[in-house]
Amino acid sequence: MSEVRTRLAAASGQRLFWPLVVLVVLIAANTAYRPSFVSIEVKDGHLYGSLVDIVRLSAPLILVALGMTLVIATGGIDLSVGSVCAIAGSMACLHISQAADQNSLSTLFTALGLALGLALVAGAWNGLLVSVIGIQPIIATLILMVAGRGLAQLITEGQIITINSDPYRVIGAGYWLTLPVAILIAIAVTLLIAVLTRRTALGLIIEAVGGNAEASRLAGIRARRITFLVYVIAGICAAVAGFMITADVSSAAGSTAGLWIELDAILAVVIGGTSLAGGRFSLSGTLIGALIIQTLTTTVYAMNISPQTSLLFKAVVVIVVCLIQAPAFRARFARRRPPATPTVAAAPQKEQVPA
């Protein structure tokens, strides 16, 4: 019994413990409400089920949040990722819609290449403003958040571009080896970023810059270069997310594609245990954070919570998640409970001393 307790205590000290608990609780609540929630079946050679849907729908958010994690780890923030989603999605759709044969693969790759190039420029612009010119990240990326939305609407000329391209649709709604392609792409990008940061020294350098920029500079780290790089990575991640979002519905709307996704991404990063102050980051934490947010959205629909209260419901859950993650809150909560073994100091009641 006591061994279980000590193991549990050790586990709860792990960074991913509480986010995982929340995710499991959310899934359990859904299952209690509707037992078929956890069932996964194979139809037409594809995996179907609520859980598969949740992962598929969270793929764009996962991508954006991964890029955001690196930006936040350097002590920055990128508000423009939602607009970059829209720019990249719109650009790709525009090119495809103007092509003679929308189903040709060369059209697809040119479209993706153009859009990625645009996202690269967007990310480089953010990186330039933050690292070279030295504008505070929240302001620097706010510029592109606003301007980028306008740019996306310029690309679509204020309309919704509808396309009829099967290969493009695959990115958001296709299946390969029974799994949704969106999930496969998300897994691939996650692995790529994990390898990029943890198999090289990039992760350490990012954490050093975010943890103490001046000490890093004096240790010979090219902090500017690293800061620039993470904004570019965030832009590219956002572009791929933009492809998924527009491919899923085979159309691009400059004004709504990826709208507010930056806020969900920041939330996912924070729920995953990466501090907004920069420093240590956790990619797996962000992954779980993104899944929690998507599960929450699905829960709201599945439980028929009225649209008027759904945002409030989401907010309450997020507050709870953040509170149980906060060491200060947990310490206060723990102090209220009697300690397992009475100590000398705790045995008599605390006395207030007159000042």
- For binding to other proteins (CB under 8 A), which residues are involved? 199-202, 204-205, 207-208, 211-212, 214-222, 226, 279-280, 343-345, 348, 350-351, 353, 355
Residue placing its CB nearer to other proteins in the complex, 34 or 335: 335
Quick one: tokens of 307? 């649209």
Residue placing its CB nearer to other proteins in the complex, 17 or 175: 17
What are residue 175's DSSP bridge partners?
Answer: 180
What are the distances in angstroms from CA 185 to CA 60, 85, 237, 241?
10, 16, 11, 10
Shortest separation between residue 334's beta carbon and other proteins, angstroms: 11
Residue placing its CB nearer to other proteins in the complex, 45 or 220: 220
Residue placing its CB nearer to other proteins in the complex, 197 or 250: 197
Residue placing its CB nearer to other proteins in the complex, 32 or 355: 355
1 DSSP 8-state letter: -
Residue 331 carries which side chain, given as an amino acid letter?
Answer: A
Shortest separation between residue 186's beta carbon and other proteins, angstroms: 25
Residue placing its CB nearer to other proteins in the complex, 105 or 347: 347
Shortest separation between residue 11's beta carbon and other proteins, angstroms: 15
User: How many angstroms separate the CA atoms of 65 and 234, rounded?
Assistant: 8
Quick one: tokens of 266? 């920041």
What are residue 198's DSSP bridge partners?
Answer: none
- Buried b / exposed e over 115-154, threshold 16 CB at 10 Å, is bbebbeebbebbbebbbeeebebeebbbebbeebbebbbe
Shortest separation between residue 84's beta carbon and other proteins, angstroms: 24
Quick one: tokens of 329? 């809150």
User: How many angstroms separate the CA atoms of 237 and 4, rounded?
Assistant: 41
196 CB-near residues (< 8 Å, 6+ apart):
202
| Placement of tokens 């403003």 in the chain | 129
Quick one: tokens of 292? 């929690």
Do the Cβ atoms of 78 and 68 come closer than 8 Å? yes
Shortest separation between residue 226's beta carbon and other proteins, angstroms: 7
Residue placing its CB nearer to other proteins in the complex, 44 or 351: 351
Shortest separation between residue 335's beta carbon and other proteins, angstroms: 8
14 DSSP 8-state letter: S
Shortest separation between residue 324's beta carbon and other proteins, angstroms: 21
CA neighbours within 13 Å on the CB side: how many for 178? Answer: 10
